[in-house]
Amino acid sequence: MTEHTGRGWFEDVDPADLDGARDAIEHGSAEGPGEWPARAVEADFADDEADYYDLLHDATMSATRDAVREAETAEDRQLISSVRAMDDCERVANELAERVAEWAGRQREGAGSGVAYARTLADDDEIADRRLASLAERVTELDDEAAALRSHIERTAPEVAPNLTGLGGAVLAARLIALAGGLKQLARKPAGTVQVLGAEEALFAHLRGRAPSPKHGIIFTHEAVSGTHPENRGSAARALAGKLSIAARIDHYAGDRRPELETELHDRIERIQAREVE
């Protein structure tokens, strides 16, 4: 409804102007409900009640399409697509590399393993089995695509989430945003939830009484956690998650860079890791 008391959203709007109707619906307001179909007819906006609801439907659908389009083209959504594609490329490349090694092992002595070995086969012009060579080439292409996506993430993540990237690195920042469903959603999550993002299966098992509570999820890849003695990893994970949670909120609501977060985290992790030698 419009901001004028008692006026409908359709006031001063051309029925053929979807942009104007969308804007009136999105930004207007009214103090209370009204007989809007009848008023729309009185204002010559609609021919009758059925026509009013048709026009309202068109306007709201236009607003919804624009909202979806904006959400899908947002920078954090693009970052999510990039990191998911990168992870898929890496996973498939590694799986196919295993098949390449298994296949080559039946034909050659001393066959290697992994993506690096697949690259060696792809560059070997003397391979008699062209099917094997072709599969090795596919591994190489997927690995190259994963590397290109990683470079893209490293360039764009600091623009989308500068503080989160400064604390966790570009790839971890992107994965946290992807797991949360967006930067806005991540910014709204408490530190305890950020701490176990990526460990959902272990968390559900714990809630069913079948396993201990997980100490960390994807943040284990951060050296602050993985580089800490197992006995102290829970403390390190809590410290890291706390700072990541703050960083996500700053990135979403303010957007300014705050390097002091990194200094504070470094000092905190140093104190935690020092417990090992006390």
Residue by residue, DSSP assigns 33-93 as ---HHHHHHHTTS-SSHHHHHHHHHHHHHHHHHHHHHHHHHSHHHHHHHHHHHHHHHHHHH
Place of tokens 């905190």: 268
Length of the chain: 278
Find all residues with CB under 8 Å of 119, minimum gap 6, and list them: 136, 139, 140, 143
Residue whose token pair is 């306007």: 59
Chain position carrying tokens 């509570």: 213
**Contact, 76 vs 177, CB < 8 A?**
yes
* Contact by Cβ (8 Å): 206, 213: yes
pLDDT at residue 1 in the model: 37
Give residue-wise pLDDT tens across range 38-49. 888 888 888 888
Average pLDDT by stretches of 10, the chain with 278 residues: 56 80 73 79 85 84 69 77 97 96 84 91 83 94 97 96 96 96 94 90 68 81 94 94 97 93 96 76
Helices 260-274 + 233-253 axis angle, to 10: 170
Q: Helix (H) and strand (E) counts for the chain?
A: 14, 0
**Cβ-based neighbours of 160, under 8 Å, separated by 6 or more:** 75, 76, 79, 173, 177, 183, 251
Question: Tokens for 217?
Answer: 């999820």
Distances (CA, A) of 150 to 30, 76, 117, 119, 155: 49, 15, 21, 19, 9
CA 225 – CA 232 distance, rounded (Å):
9
Residue 206: predicted pLDDT? 59
User: Given this model, what pLDDT does residue 84 score?
Assistant: 97
pLDDT value of position 127: 78
The pLDDT of residue 112 is: 86
What is the distance between the alpha carbons of residues 128 and 92, in angstroms, rounded to a whole number? 25
Residues 6+ apart with CB under 8 A from 98: 113
Q: Could you tell me the two tokens for 275?
A: 């417990």
pLDDT of amino acid 152:
97
Measured CA distances, 165 to 20, 48, 76, 196, 245 (Å):
40, 56, 13, 18, 12
pLDDT of residue 276: 54
Query: What is the distance in angstroms between the CA of the first residue and the CA of the last residue of the chain?
Result: 66
Residues 216 and 195: their CA atoms lie apart, in Å, by 5
Q: What is the pLDDT of residues 134-189, one digit of tens each?
A: 999 999 999 999 999 999 999 999 999 999 999 999 999 999 999 999 999 999 99
Burial degree of 117 (CB within 10 A; 0-12, 13-18, 19+): middle
Return the structure tokens found at 5.
């008391």
